C-alpha cells in the first residue's frame, strides 16, 4: 500500500467517495459514460483509477470501457485475459483492475455511447483510430488526452490535443504529471495536473481522476501542461546518457536545469499564452524529476550510452520495454525538425545535443560539452 497524504491542491478537489452511490435509474441519460482509448501501462493504471471513481460517484456510469488493441499473449486474447482475470498481464502485471473495467477489442463498440473519452496510447497510433472514434461519437462527448508527445506537419508543431480536437470536433483537456504508471497503480502518493480550456470539463475530469493518493490540480493552460509532458521526455534521454556515462548527480542536475530552461524557452517562443506557473505544477518540475530518475526514456538512453551507440534505439526498445513504446527519442526528433525549420537550434544547445547523440552519431560524452553561460566574455575550455 502506498502512502496517501492530503496536499492542498486545487480548491474543490473531490475526496475518495466511501459511501455506496445511489444510482439515478430514472434518468440514466445524465450519466457520464467513460471509455479509455488505450490499454498499455498507463492506460491500465488510469482505467483502475477511473473504475474506482465511477463506482463511487453517481454522475458516472459505473462501467468503464477500455479499448484494447488486441494481441495474443500465451495463446490467449489479451482482452479475454483482462475480462476473466481482471489483470492486464502484458502491460500492468500484478495489478488487479476493478471488475467494472471492461476490455473491448472493437474500437467502435468501445466508444459507442461514451461521453468521456480518455486518450492514452502512444501518439503514433492516433491518426489511424480517430476516424472510427468520430463515426461513433456520442452527443456531448468531450475528451482528455494523457498522451505525452508532439506531432509535426508542414506548418510546424502540432499538439496532440489539437490532433484530437480537429479530428473529432470536440473539446479536449489534458492530464500530465509525475506519474510513473507502476507506482500510481500501487497507490503511492503523487500529484497530477489537468490543463483545460473549458472549466466545467476540467472540473468533471478532476472528479473522474482525483483520489487521496492521486491528487489532481486543474489549470487553464492546455498547451503549457501538454508541452511540459512531451518535452521532459527529451530531457530524460539526456539524463539517461549521464547515467550511462556513470556521471554523478551534479551533472544530472545541470542537465535537468538546462532542460527545464529549454522547455520554458520552447513554450515561450512557439506558443503564446503558456503560463509561467505551469512549470511549478506536477506536469512541470515534478514530472521532469521523476522522468530523469525513473521511467523508460532514461533507462533506454542509459543502455544506448553503455553500448557506445552500437545498439539501435529499436533494438533497445524491443529488448528493454516488452512492447511499451519509447517516446523521448521520437519527441527529440520532432522538436529538432521544428527548431531547424525556425532557425532556432543555437538557442537550444541541450535539445540539439540530445538529437545529435541520438541520431547523428555524436559521442555520448559530448552531452557534457554545453556552453550555457550567458556571458560572452568567458573563455570556454572543453573538458
Q: Which residues bind ligand NAD (CB under 6 A)?
A: 38-43, 69, 91, 120-123, 125, 146-149, 179-181, 324-325, 327
Q: Facing residues of 144 across strands?
A: 118, 173
Q: Are 171 and 149 in contact (CB under 8 A)?
A: no
Cβ atoms within 10 Å of 143's Cβ, excluding its own: 25
Nearer to ligand NAD, 144 or 364 (CB): 144
Q: Which of 142, 232, 264, 353 is catalytic?
A: 232
342 in catalytic set: no
Q: Nearest to ligand NAD by Cβ — which residue? A: 40
Distance of closest approach, residue 68 Cβ to ligand NAD, in angstroms: 7
| CA–CA separation, 28 and 211 (whole Å) | 25
Cell output for 224? 503549457
Distances (CA, A) of 22 to 25, 55, 62, 100: 9, 10, 11, 16
Among 278, 261, 268, 276, smallest CA distance to 342 is for 268
Distance of closest approach, residue 23 Cβ to ligand NAD, in angstroms: 30
Q: Grid cell 524557452 — which residue? A: 265
Distance of closest approach, residue 91 Cβ to ligand NAD, in angstroms: 5
Nearer to ligand NAD, 142 or 148 (CB): 148
Nearer to ligand NAD, 149 or 238 (CB): 149
| CA–CA separation, 303 and 309 (whole Å) | 9
Distance of closest approach, residue 96 Cβ to ligand NAD, in angstroms: 18
Distance of closest approach, residue 229 Cβ to ligand NAD, in angstroms: 7
Nearer to ligand NAD, 127 or 363 (CB): 127
| CA–CA separation, 158 and 4 (whole Å) | 37
The continuous run of DSSP H or E covering 158 comes out as strand 156-159
Nearer to ligand NAD, 41 or 201 (CB): 41
Q: Grid cell 527529451 — which residue? A: 234
The continuous run of DSSP H or E covering 33 comes out as strand 32-37
Nearer to ligand NAD, 313 or 364 (CB): 313
Distance of closest approach, residue 373 Cβ to ligand NAD, in angstroms: 33
Strands 156-159 and 76-77: unpaired
Distances (CA, A) of 378 to 28, 101, 160, 371: 69, 60, 41, 10
Cell output for 166? 480537429
Residues serving a catalytic function are: 232
Amino acid at each position: 500500500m502506498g502512502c496517501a497524504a492530503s496536499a492542498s491542491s486545487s480548491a474543490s478537489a473531490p475526496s475518495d467517495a466511501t459511501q455506496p452511490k445511489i444510482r439515478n435509474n430514472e434518468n440514466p441519460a445524465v450519466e457520464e459514460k467513460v471509455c479509455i482509448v488505450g490499454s498499455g501501462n498507463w492506460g491500465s493504471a488510469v482505467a483502475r483509477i477511473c473504475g474506482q471513481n465511477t463506482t463511487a460517484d453517481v454522475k458516472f456510469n459505473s462501467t468503464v470501457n477500455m479499448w484494447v488493441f488486441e494481441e495474443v499473449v500465451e495463446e490467449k486474447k489479451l482482452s479475454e485475459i483482462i475480462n476473466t482475470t481482471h489483470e492486464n498481464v502484458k502491460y500492468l502485471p500484478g495489478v488487479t483492475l476493478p471488475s467494472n473495467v471492461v476490455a473491448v477489442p472493437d474500437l467502435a463498440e468501445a466508444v459507442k455511447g461514451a461521453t468521456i473519452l480518455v486518450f492514452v496510447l502512444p501518439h503514433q497510433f492516433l491518426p489511424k483510430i480517430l476516424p472510427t472514434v468520430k463515426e461513433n461519437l456520442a452527443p456531448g462527448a468531450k475528451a482528455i488526452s494523457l498522451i505525452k508527445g508532439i506531432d509535426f506537419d508542414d506548418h510546424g508543431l502540432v499538439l496532440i490535443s489539437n490532433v484530437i480536437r480537429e479530428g473529432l470536433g470536440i473539446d479536449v483537456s489534458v492530464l500530465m504529471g509525475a506519474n510513473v504508471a507502476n507506482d500510481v497503480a500501487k497507490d503511492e502518493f503523487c500529484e497530477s495536473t489537468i490543463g483545460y480550456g473549458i472549466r466545467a470539463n476540467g472540473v468533471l475530469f478532476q472528479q473522474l481522476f482525483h483520489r487521496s493518493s492521486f491528487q489532481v490540480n486543474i489549470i487553464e493552460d492546455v498547451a503549457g501542461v501538454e508541452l511540459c509532458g512531451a518535452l521532459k521526455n527529451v530531457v530524460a534521454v539526456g539524463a539517461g546518457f549521464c547515467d550511462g556515462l556513470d556521471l554523478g548527480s551534479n551533472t544530472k542536475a545541470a542537465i535537468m536545469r538546462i532542460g527545464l530552461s529549454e522547455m520554458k524557452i520552447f513554450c515561450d517562443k512557439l506558443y503564446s499564452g503558456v503560463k509561467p506557473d505551469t512549470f511549478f505544477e506536477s506536469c512541470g518540475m515534478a514530472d521532469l524529476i521523476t522522468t530523469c530518475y525513473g521511467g523508460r526514456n532514461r533507462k533506454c538512453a542509459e543502455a544506448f550510452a553503455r553500448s557506445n551507440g552500437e545498439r539501435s534505439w529499436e533494438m533497445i526498445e524491443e529488448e528493454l520495454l516488452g512492447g511499451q513504446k519509447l517516446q523521448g527519442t521520437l519527441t527529440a526528433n520532432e522538436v529538432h525538425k521544428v527548431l531547424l525549420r525556425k532557425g532556432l537550434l543555437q538557442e537550444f544547445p541541450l535539445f540539439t545535443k540530445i538529437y545529435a547523440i541520438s541520431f547523428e552519431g555524436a559521442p555520448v560524452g559530448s552531452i557534457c560539452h554545453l556552453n550555457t553561460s550567458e556571458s560572452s566574455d568567458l573563455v570556454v575550455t572543453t573538458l
